[in-house]
Amino acid sequence: MPLFSKGIRALSRSFTVLVDELGEKSERAGKNIYRFDVGVPGVAPPAWAVEPLIEALRRGDTSVYSYSPGPGLEELREAIALDLRAMKGPRVSPDEVLVVSGGQHAMFVALASILDRGCEVVVTDPVYFGYPSLIEYFGCSIRRVPTDPGKGFKINVEALSSVVRRERTRALVIVDPDNPTGRVLDKSEARAVIDVAASADSWVLVDEAYMTLVYEGGKEWLFDMDPSRVVGLFTFSKDPGIPGWRLGFIYGAREFIEKASLVARETMYSPPMPAQLLVLKYLTDPRRKEFVEEARRTYRARRDAMVSALSSIRSVQAYKPRGSIFVMADFSEYLERLGTDSQGLARTLLDKVGVATVPGSFFGETTKTHLRLSFAGEAEERIKEGVEAVKEFLDQL
């Protein structure tokens, strides 16, 4: 057979594939499965954001079926810029925003715009599992910086400085709020990331997929600290919760957006129109604020239920996340008792207890004795029940 690209090998090792398989397996089982594995929201987008689109479809409005400008509808780029400002976030203009087809696409476009074969990309450990395979696909190597689980997965700045190298490090990737740990960078960490990146003249990609889900305190905006170096990535998969509709955006300096638009054009031509129309209505309607606050209240209550249920399991250490929809919990004692690793434990809990989680080892060495539990997809009662079932099982070991 003729040759395939070298990059494909990196993609076939992707944990995203394994996690999707796990999800499918649990659905197929048709049993009562507690879905703590999913990263998709359990809250539907508001009806008022969908209605105008339904009406346009009923009217037979052909623009809904059409292409949009490559970088996205002008009104949507404007709405995104205004929305970021309203969140006290970065002050970008519409031409510093590029609409893309979801978070995964944002990652691909951003990395494809800056990486060359042979360069290095620094990520935290643990890191969202979507990144390593893509970085390797582009022929680059990954330098991981351990974080400290005992300190809420704080970034170790000394370790960060020691792996960053001028001429070699092309980018630092930071997820903030973080998937999988829920860490939200504080001011000093954010400053340190920028300073270290500046010392090697590297890009900083800050993945802000969960930017609207910060439960206590604020969020630091890295872009404001160095607009020429920082690129923000966002997906509408979580807020307003349209993962299957594939929409997200990238913001950054005009020169970056110009280059990234070229990659976006080649990989999608233009972003999906129905999703753009829905999000345009969503972002520009005054009811949006209340919708986000309500979603945040719901998720905060679910987070508290999850953390408190986990802390009732003897010797399990669960870090209470300040943002995102995930809790990372250390199950090392039970791994020892079962003589298994986090992947084995996740499988056992799925098969024996009907609880789906994601093994911490999928995200890195630092969390190899952990499980990641999402609190987005199940209501509080179900969260308590599911974790109680895990506790009962573990208590018998």
> Interface with ligand PLP by CB under 6 A: which residues?
39, 102-104, 107, 128, 130, 175, 179, 207, 209, 235, 237, 243, 248
Residue 324's identity, in one-letter code, is: S
Torsion region of 25: left, alpha or beta (phi above 0 gives left; psi -120 to 50 gives alpha):
alpha
Residue 2: CB minimum distance to ligand PLP, A: 31
Please provide the distance, in angstroms rounded to a whole number, between the alpha carbons at the two ends of the chain.
51
| Of residues 302 and 334, the one with the C-beta less far from ligand PLP | 302
- 3 by Cβ neighbours in 10 Å (0-12 / 13-18 / 19+) ranks as exposed
Residue 233: CB minimum distance to ligand PLP, A: 7
Q: Which of 103, 362, 357 is CA-nearest to residue 239?
A: 103
Residue 221's identity, in one-letter code, is: W
Residue 212: CB minimum distance to ligand PLP, A: 13
| Of residues 41 and 149, the one with the C-beta less far from ligand PLP | 41
| Of residues 149 and 272, the one with the C-beta less far from ligand PLP | 272
| Of residues 237 and 367, the one with the C-beta less far from ligand PLP | 237
Residue 95's identity, in one-letter code, is: D
Name the closest residue to ligand PLP (Cβ). 103
Residue 102: CB minimum distance to ligand PLP, A: 4
| Of residues 103 and 360, the one with the C-beta less far from ligand PLP | 103
**Looking up tokens 């037979």, which residue turns up?**
60
Tell me the C-alpha distance between 310 and 391, whole Å: 8
Residue 308: CB minimum distance to ligand PLP, A: 24
Tell me the C-alpha distance between 226 and 196, whole Å: 12
| Of residues 39 and 359, the one with the C-beta less far from ligand PLP | 39
Residue 235: CB minimum distance to ligand PLP, A: 3
Q: What angle do helix axes 287-311 and 273-284 make, rounded to 10 degrees? A: 100
Tell me the C-alpha distance between 87 and 44, whole Å: 22
